[in-house]
Amino acid sequence: MNKKYNFIVILGVFIFVYFAPFSQLEIPQPIIESLLMAQEYAREHVLLCLIPAFFIAGAIANFISQENVIKYFGAKTNKLISYSIASISGTILAVCSCTVLPLFAGIYKRGAGIGPATAFLYSGPAINILAIILTARILGFELGIVRAFGAIIFSVIIGLSMHFIFEKKGIKNQAEQNNITNFSAEKEERSLGKTILYFATMIGILIFANLGRDDSIEIWQLIYNFKWQITGILLIILSWMLIKWFKREELTQWRNSSLDFALQILPLLLGGVLVAGLLLGRPGSEGLIPKIWIEKLVGGNSLWSNLFASVVGALMYFATLTEIPILQGLLGAGMNKGPALALLLAGPALSLPNMLVIRSIIGTKKTLVFILLVIIMATFSGMLFGHLF
């Protein structure tokens, strides 16, 4: 079976990257950097962070009724609800990044209109749950949290701005604005309570397994010493929940979805890490691009550096999660935190190919305004963040 083969290949590559003694090779430094960065990712992030994250994403994709969330995007929904849901539903709906564009088009044309649609368009890719988890882990908790909240808040601001600039006053075409049809009307297999519980357990496992040291806080130290015991207990609780609350078939589907995510994303992430390592080197070392250039372009927290980072982020295409190793390389090479945030806020939502598709849905003028709004917001939040932190 094709998939089994892919899995074995990826497993093989992982084991190779994990164990190979790259630092002893006699090859040009940037290439060693690239391989060492991949090794670091394999050793430190894949097992404890990415794999649980893939399972969480698989659970979201399989067990959270996306249709239930979408019905909040209807034309008749209260505006406050549409915008709030639009800005955070990306965590649930954008698990597969390809669903963002069709969903955006749907909300725009048949649902709540350009406001909530652009809010979703912006926040969806930005608060993809895998991206947030990995950002917090690799780039730091601050950046992870600020990225998530920044995406949510700005998506509402951008959505509202688009609404005020473009929403035609007058009677909307009633025929188009029907409520969203629900196609796969399924009964929920588990109550909301149970769903919250097993998700909380999975997130707990993710957090405790990845707990870092913080010797300055006493309670933290205590918890840190027991992190593996706590993780173990949570795992046992999770297994019990899985056995009691899920059918065999559901567990298989869940496992398959998680595997699909892993197979889809790991190669891209590996590519991103290798390129980032090659061009920028690991934090503290040099890659192909001289540190001086990075420092000059985005080293400080000036308007120029933030603007530059925003524009580059907007144009560049980042495959899922690849913005993280690239940003890690840039930060290590001297990029300031401000422009880093700017890149994180402008990067995932936009790219040149992406802009063309958006243009085919909402037209050139609206697309340009949207892009401009994103760049302005990203630049200013970057400057603010760089200034405060």
Partner 1 sequence: MKIEILGTGCPKCKKLDELTKKAVQELGISVEIKKITDINKIIDYGVMITPALVVDGNVKVAGKIPGIEEIKKWIGE
**Nearest approach, Cβ of 183 to partner 1 (angstroms)?**
4
Task: CB nearer to partner 1: give 100 or 205.
Answer: 100
Tokens matching residue 366 = 């609206």
Task: CB nearer to partner 1: give 85 or 344.
Answer: 85
Task: CB nearer to partner 1: give 184 or 216.
Answer: 184
Angle at 112 between CA 199 and CA 369, to 5 degrees: 100
Task: CB nearer to partner 1: give 185 or 243.
Answer: 185
Contact positions toward partner 1, by CB under 8 A? 61-62, 66-67, 70, 73, 93, 96-99, 101-103, 105-107, 109-111, 180-181, 183-184, 260, 264, 357, 360-361
Task: CB nearer to partner 1: give 58 or 281.
Answer: 58
**Nearest approach, Cβ of 261 to partner 1 (angstroms)?**
10
Residues ≥6 apart with Cβ < 8 Å to 333: 280, 281, 283, 286, 287, 289, 291, 294, 295
Tokens matching residue 61 = 């994709």
DSSP 95: T
**Nearest approach, Cβ of 249 to partner 1 (angstroms)?**
9
**Nearest approach, Cβ of 51 to partner 1 (angstroms)?**
19
**Nearest approach, Cβ of 255 to partner 1 (angstroms)?**
14
| Phi (first) and psi of residue 157, to 5 degrees | -65, -45
Task: CB nearer to partner 1: give 99 or 302.
Answer: 99
**Nearest approach, Cβ of 233 to partner 1 (angstroms)?**
33
Nearest residue to 84 (alpha-carbon basis) of 148, 156, 167: 156
Task: CB nearer to partner 1: give 109 or 291.
Answer: 109
| Phi (first) and psi of residue 174, to 5 degrees | -60, -35
What sections of the chain are H helices per DSSP? 2-19, 29-41, 51-63, 66-70, 79-88, 90-93, 100-110, 114-126, 129-139, 141-166, 192-209, 218-225, 227-245, 248-280, 291-298, 303-315, 323-332, 337-346, 352-362, 364-388
Nearest residue to 371 (alpha-carbon basis) of 317, 327, 313: 313
**Nearest approach, Cβ of 369 to partner 1 (angstroms)?**
20
